[in-house]
């Protein structure tokens, strides 16, 4: 069985992420979406919320599992007995960062390979940071995130809500 891990923060999951997941399913028999805990990075949603949103958004996709992880990705990959990591590339700057990460992962475990996938053209500009900014100013989220994610973003940025990150 060919399997791969698609890791990320997914804060929140976007239609671009789901595009990569869906297309990766045509190459791999099983995809594990690995949601990083990210204690050092300020996130809008808890890891539990992010896992739930991805599970809801990918419910119709067979052979997709969603799990959270903490620590090093190569350790998580070993624990899952998976040797392939999927990473999305949108722009040249993504490649530079992802190439460094792929080389570091290979240095940590030379049995780990990274497969780079480009999103469909309509998602090339899309990232979670842009989506959060659109939500923060009350802009339209349709075409950027699944409906359940849009609802959670609107709730999170509702006027008068306390604890909303700046």
Q: Is 17 assigned a catalytic role?
A: yes
Q: Confirm if 123 and 19 have CB atoms less than 8 A apart.
A: yes
Instruction: Spot the catalytic one: 50, 128, 152, 156.
Output: 128
106 tagged catalytic: no
Rounded alpha-carbon distances, angstroms, from residue 29 to 26, 64, 76, 82, 97 = 8, 9, 19, 12, 27
* CA 69 – CA 8 distance, rounded (Å): 10
- 81 noted as active-site residue: no
Alpha helices in 32-142, H assignment, sequence order: 47-57, 73-80, 92-108, 128-136
Task: Establish whether 128 is a catalytic residue.
Answer: yes
Please state, as a whole number, how many other Cβ atoms lie within 10 Å of the Cβ of residue 9.
17
Q: Which of 30, 55, 78, 90 is catalytic?
A: 90
Of residues 39, 41, 42, 81, which has the active-site annotation?
Answer: 41
Q: Which residues contact 47 (CB under 8 A, 6 or more apart)?
A: 35, 36, 37, 38, 68
Q: List the catalytic residues.
A: 17, 41, 90, 128
């Amino acid at each position: 069985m060919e399997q791969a891990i698609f890791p990320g923060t997914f804060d929140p999951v976007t239609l671009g992420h789901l595009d990569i997941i869906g297309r990766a399913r045509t190459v791999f028999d099983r995809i594990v979406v690995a949601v990083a805990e990210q204690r050092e990075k300020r996130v809008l949603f808890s890891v539990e919320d992010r896992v739930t949103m991805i599970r809801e958004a990918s419910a119709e996709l067979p052979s997709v599992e969603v799990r959270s992880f903490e620590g090093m990705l190569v350790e998580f990959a070993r624990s899952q007995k998976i040797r392939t990591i999927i990473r999305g590339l949108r722009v040249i700057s993504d490649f530079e960062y992802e190439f460094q990460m792929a080389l570091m992962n290979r240095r940590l475990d030379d049995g780990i390979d990274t497969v780079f996938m480009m999103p469909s053209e309509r998602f090339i500009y899309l990232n979670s940071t842009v989506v959060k900014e659109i939500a923060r100013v009350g802009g339209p989220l349709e075409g950027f995130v699944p409906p359940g994610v849009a609802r959670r973003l609107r709730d999170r940025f509702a006027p008068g809500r306390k604890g909303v990150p700046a």
